[in-house]
Amino acid sequence: MIDEKITSIKGIGEKTAALFSRLGVNTVDELIHYYPRAYDTFCAPRFINGILPDTMAAVEGILVKSASVVRYGRLQVTTAKVKDSTGNLDLVWYNMPYLRSTLQAGERFVFRGKIVKKRGRLLMEQPEIYRTEKYEGLIASMQPIYGQTKGLGNKIIVRAVSGALERHELEREYLPGDIREKYSLAEINFALEHIHFPANEQELLFSRKRLVFDEFFMFLLVIRLMKEAKENVKSRYPFVISDEIREKENRLPYMLTAAQKRTLDEVCADLKSGHVMNRLIQGDVGSGKTVVAVFALLQAAANGYQGALMVPTEVLAKQHYDSVTELLKMLGLQTRTVLLTGSMTQKEKRLVYEAIENHEADIIIGTHALIQERVIYDNLALVITDEQHRFGVGQRENLKNKGAEPHVLVMSATPIPRTLAIILYGDLDISVIDELPAKRKPVKNCVVNRGYRDNAYRFIEREVESGRQAYVICPMVEASEMLDAENVVDYAALLREKLPSSVRVEYLHGKMKPKDKNRIMERFAEGEIQVLVSTTVIEVGINVPNATVMMIENAERFGLAQLHQLRGRVGRGASQSYCIMVNNSDDEETQKRLEILNRSNDGFYIASEDLKLRGPGDIFGMRQSGELEFGLADVFTDAAVLKEVSEEVSALLDKDPVLEREENQELRRRLDRYLEKSCERMNL
């Protein structure tokens, strides 16, 4: 039943299933674990004279006159007017002419919708209509809001999830009763149902805590078991550190920072130690991790071995390949380097496969195509994954298994405080590059409200006129019926109107076909596109030194670590760069949080400050560590739970190191399933 297709749910045919597939949901089980991204809380109706623009509100009143319908071409506009003791409010619906028969003068209803200001007056657009007694029953209830895609609205997803929960077999409890009691954790089936449909916030938090605990528990179990398997493993690839390669460091057109030199020394010490290296390089955006990785790969080649560098996107793979080949040429090295990506033709792939298998290639750079079955390495001694948080533990292990216990180096630009990093990357030794290259100009930051937008557009126009490029980030792909947030499709259209026709504006999001996505990123990297409107898909995977402006809409909807990652897309060239964060919230705590980014460009300082500010009330729309295989958990908001889970996992493995006891067999089964899913999943 666990892999039962989503079409088994009543009302879901092949067309709807195809839309769900775009969200990564293909089975009943995946649908149940497709958690809401936010919740819509129904508040008591407000007086008309107290409502504010750009908010969701409910008003209760009597219709002044019956609804009327006016046609404008293909658009049919239904209008009505409601009054209460404090005033009148106009109501507008688009392409819903049938409401004319429902909305009669003198009738009393509750109308709930978005308040907008047009031509100096307030009106409510597309309101939902409730009888008073029905709405009273909804007050304080929480309705789930899911990530959506075109053609698949929230109501359809809600119905599908309800159907999935009805069909879903009850899951067997695997957590020991004493752990559940110790931390007041919900029963697993209760948690799965009420994370979708909580009666109130207390029930939501109770369910969420259990599922967060589970996510951390599985993740850390895998990490600790991997650590046990890796510890003090003798290396089959003895290294002699090449002095010639180390001397080449001095021929670079720039000086390595002290932190880069220290990290490279630690890597070289691991390589010649006689034991298998398992090391994480944690460095802020732009700190120069890749240069360290390249010199490690050159040491592998100098010893007659192969080295592989796996990155999350094709554009980044090609950029790395180009920069590495250029660097080798400058250093006067003949090290043979090849590129392997999924979009290459079969003939191109076949030639690369042959070069790898015959050891005609020393350094192999590519995407997850590097771990495909057809790739056969010859003496793969070093495996490096860049932006490692984008690869699951399963993918990292698959690449490692392409060799016979190769040395492993993983790199991450996600700024996580060291105390949490030691837990999350417990299977790895950690090196930190905590300096930026001397010539990098710090990004200038500003946090503004929506009233600054026109100024920002003019600033972007001036930068483009000077030959620069700009990113604009929106939190959503398309307009949502439930969430008031900017989306890339409409925003790109808006910018085409606001900016001169000579400025090429395009949009990018993760739901596009890989081929189309790569082409947009390539054109932006080549300067054909001046302004790129995107979701956070560009958080990693593209390096454009000519881009000098990062404008982030609805900045309040992102965690600070993610905002810092996005900001890291600019400031990579010689020109001064800027980050404009548009805050749509009037909340003082939100402003305080964003001011941390305004004051500092240091990712580790930002992460530490964020950790101090975060609390259980921040779970709505503030997740930022989804890259680390978590559907709900956030290493900042849930730092305390992470530490508790770490202690329990250690205690469990002390008693049963390989989970062979009878009482842990269900846990073992779940762990195997988790690893299988991890291998299937790629967060690109």
Q: In this predicted model, what pLDDT tens digit does every residue of 36-45 receive, in sequence order?
A: 988 888 889 9
Query: Looking at the predicted structure, is the pLDDT value of residue 624 above 60?
Result: no
pLDDT band at 428 (very low <50, low <70, confident <90, very high): confident
CA distance 496 to 521: 18
pLDDT band at 623 (very low <50, low <70, confident <90, very high): very low
Which residue from 134, 120, 128, 48 is spatially nearest to 93, judged by alpha carbons? 128
| pTM score of the predicted model | 0.69
Q: Which tens digit of pLDDT belongs to each residue from 164-219?
A: 998 888 888 888 888 999 999 999 999 999 999 998 889 999 999 999 999 999 98
pLDDT band at 572 (very low <50, low <70, confident <90, very high): confident
Given a contact cutoff of 8 angstroms between Cβ atoms, the answer to whether 369 and 540 are in contact is no
DSSP-derived secondary structure for 494-531: HHHHHS-TTS-EEEE-TTS-HHHHHHHHHHHHTTS-SE
Tell me: domain 236-433, CATH 3.40.50.300, correct? yes
The residue type found at 300 is A
Q: Which tens digit of pLDDT belongs to each residue from 133-156?
A: 999 988 877 889 998 888 898 989
User: Mean pLDDT for the chain?
Assistant: 86
Q: What angle do CA 508, 479, 112 make, to 5 degrees?
A: 165
DSSP assigned state of 613 = H
pLDDT band at 2 (very low <50, low <70, confident <90, very high): low
Query: Looking at the predicted structure, is the pLDDT value of residue 390 above 50?
Result: no
Query: Looking at the predicted structure, is the pLDDT value of residue 385 above 50?
Result: yes
**Continuous H helices in 442-579:** 453-465, 488-498, 514-525, 560-567
CA distance 16 to 7: 8
What CATH code is assigned to 444-600? Answer: 3.40.50.300
Quote the CATH superfamily of domain 43-132: Nucleic acid-binding proteins (2.40.50.140)
Residue 93's H or E segment, with its range, is strand 87-94
pLDDT of residue 286: 77
Query: Looking at the predicted structure, is the pLDDT value of residue 482 above 60?
Result: no
Query: Looking at the predicted structure, is the pLDDT value of residue 617 above 60?
Result: no
pLDDT of residue 602: 82
Percentage of residues in the chain having pLDDT higher than 90? 48
pLDDT of residue 314: 84
Domain with CATH 3.40.50.300 in the chain: 236-433, 444-600
Mean pLDDT over residues 262-274, rounded? Answer: 95
